[in-house]
């Protein structure tokens, strides 16, 4: 650009900036503040608080002094106020015994983010979680992220606190999950449904927490989760091991189908079949992209070895256009979903294979 043009452009910018109401904007002034702690956190604790400020508070200008146990935060006045509130809530005495659950220190706390009408930070104190068993709080954290789809959340292990940020609907969803999980095993057997309205006009969803009675081992839980994902098609599902709970979010039809499968598979043993194959059936209505289908749970009498089960699964999959076919180990069961006519043919194949094994002497 010629020199005269450069000078003219500079003068034009200066003139525009001199008039009130011009297009020029001023970014909020950035400040910095050093936060000290009355209750000095450990190195891990300081790192977790720093991660909370970055993850939940969206604060990127942050540095730690591990020796002095301080945090230096940079940002706007509102960001510093938010950081100060979070740090104040987490700057509490760490319990002497980290092997036992800690009672609640006070009411659940909320902070309304400045300048936003629907942006809330909430801190949940978990009263049945053991600080020295981080897997417990990690499972709750993963459930909030997976089922409630809340990404701005992190935990502070020493106090078994969970810090969550999101719109009011998401925070309420998180509250529902935390309340359903933060209980003593066996003290709660049922949970009410939670109606969730996602943002941006998406279709409303239903969430429910189911408490398992018999499916307690890792294999049983994983088989159940895989069945729910494979047969029902729900993706927002996760379990909380300490109380044997499974949280699911989906359409009303998916929740009903999930409840049917949990009731059919969370058994100490398969129902007595006698001379008639024992089958449980659920009619699942189709949506705009899926035709109506049937879910069958078939309890075999003789197909109990892993080899026999896998051979029968392969037979069904290769003989019929059924893709949603799975098995459960305890109790032994075949779970299938598809059109009624295909399910009827699959039942026939399984019945034909479900015969006593004849020994050489019997032959």
Q: Extract the tokens encoding 76.
A: 């706007």
Sheet of strand 109-112, all strands in order from the earlier edge strand to the far edge:
109-112, 120-125, 161-166, 153-156
Q: How confident is the model at residue 202 (pLDDT cuts 50, 70, 90)?
A: confident
Q: What is the mean pLDDT of the chain?
A: 86
Q: What is the mean pLDDT of residues 300-329?
A: 91
Length of the chain: 363
- H helix intervals, 244-339: 252-265, 306-319
DSSP string, 171-229: HHHHHHHHHHHSS-TTS------EEE--STTPPPEEEEEEE-SS--SHHHHHHHHHHII
Given a cut of 60, whether residue 105 has pLDDT beyond it is no
CATH for the stretch 271-355 = 3.30.70
Residue 210 and residue 67: Cα distance in Å, rounded?
46
189-266 placed in CATH 3.40.50: no
Burial of 212 (0-12, 13-18, 19+ CB in 10 A): middle
Tokens 């893709």 found at: 323
Percent over 90 (pLDDT), the chain: 67
Q: Report which secondary-structure segment, H or E, holds 32.
A: strand 31-35
**What is the DSSP pairing of strand 61-65 with strand 70-75?**
antiparallel
Is the CB of residue 248 less than 8 Å from the CB of residue 147?
Answer: yes
Q: What is the mean pLDDT of residues 311-330?
A: 92
Tokens 């301080």 found at: 70
pLDDT digits (tens, 9 = 90+) for 9-54: 343 334 344 444 444 455 567 899 999 999 999 999 999 999 999 9
The full set of domain ranges for the chain reads: 189-266, 271-355
- Closest-CA residue to 242 (of 140, 103, 347, 111): 140
CA atoms within 13 A on the CB side of 41: 27
Q: What is the mean pLDDT of residues 238-246?
A: 95
- Higher pLDDT, residue 16 or 254: 254
- Higher pLDDT, residue 101 or 80: 80
3-state helix vs strand vs coil in the chain, percent to 5:
35, 25, 40
Same fold, 189-266 and 271-355: yes
Given a cut of 70, whether residue 308 has pLDDT beyond it is yes
Most confident of 21-25, 128-132, 196-200, 243-247: 243-247
pLDDT attached to residue 201: 73
Q: What is the mean pLDDT of residues 277-302?
A: 81
In the 8-state DSSP scheme, what is residue 23? S
Q: How confident is the model at residue 107 (pLDDT cuts 50, 70, 90)?
A: low
């Amino acid at each position: 650009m010629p020199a005269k043009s450069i000078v003219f452009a500079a003068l034009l910018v200066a003139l525009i900036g001199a008039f009130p109401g011009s297009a020029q904007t001023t970014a909020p002034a950035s400040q910095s503040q050093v936060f000290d702690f009355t209750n000095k956190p450990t190195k891990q604790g300081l790192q977790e608080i720093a991660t909370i400020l970055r993850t939940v508070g969206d604060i990127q200008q942050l540095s730690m002094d591990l020796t002095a146990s301080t945090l230096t935060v940079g940002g706007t006045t509102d960001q510093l106020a938010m950081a100060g509130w979070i740090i104040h809530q987490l700057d509490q005495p760490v319990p002497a015994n980290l092997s036992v659950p800690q009672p609640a220190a006070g009411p659940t706390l909320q902070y309304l983010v400045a300048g936003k009408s629907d942006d809330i930070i909430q801190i949940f104190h978990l009263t049945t979680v053991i600080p020295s068993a981080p897997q417990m709080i990690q499972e709750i954290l993963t459930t909030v992220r997976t089922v409630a789809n809340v990404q701005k959340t992190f935990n502070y292990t020493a106090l078994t606190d969970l810090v969550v940020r999101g719109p009011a609907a998401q925070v309420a969803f998180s509250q529902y999950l935390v309340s359903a999980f933060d209980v003593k095993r066996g003290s709660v057997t049922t949970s009410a449904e939670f109606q969730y309205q996602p943002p941006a006009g998406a279709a409303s969803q239903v969430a429910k927490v189911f408490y398992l009675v018999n499916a307690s081992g890792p294999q049983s839980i994983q088989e159940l989760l895989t069945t729910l994902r494979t047969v029902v098609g729900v993706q927002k599902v996760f379990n909380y091991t300490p109380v044997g709970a499974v949280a699911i979010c989906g359409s009303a039809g998916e929740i009903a189908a999930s409840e049917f499968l949990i009731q059919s598979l969370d058994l100490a043993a398969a129902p007595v079949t006698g001379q008639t194959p024992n089958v449980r059936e659920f009619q699942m209505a189709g949506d705009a992209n899926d035709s109506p289908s049937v879910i069958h749970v078939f309890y075999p009498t003789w197909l109990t070895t892993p080899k026999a089960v896998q051979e029968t699964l392969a037979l069904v999959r290769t003989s019929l256009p059924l893709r949603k076919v799975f098995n459960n180990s305890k109790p032994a069961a075949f779970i299938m979903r598809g059109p009624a006519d295909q399910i009827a043919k699959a039942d026939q194949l399984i019945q034909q294979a479900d015969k006593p094994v004849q020994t050489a002497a019997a032959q």
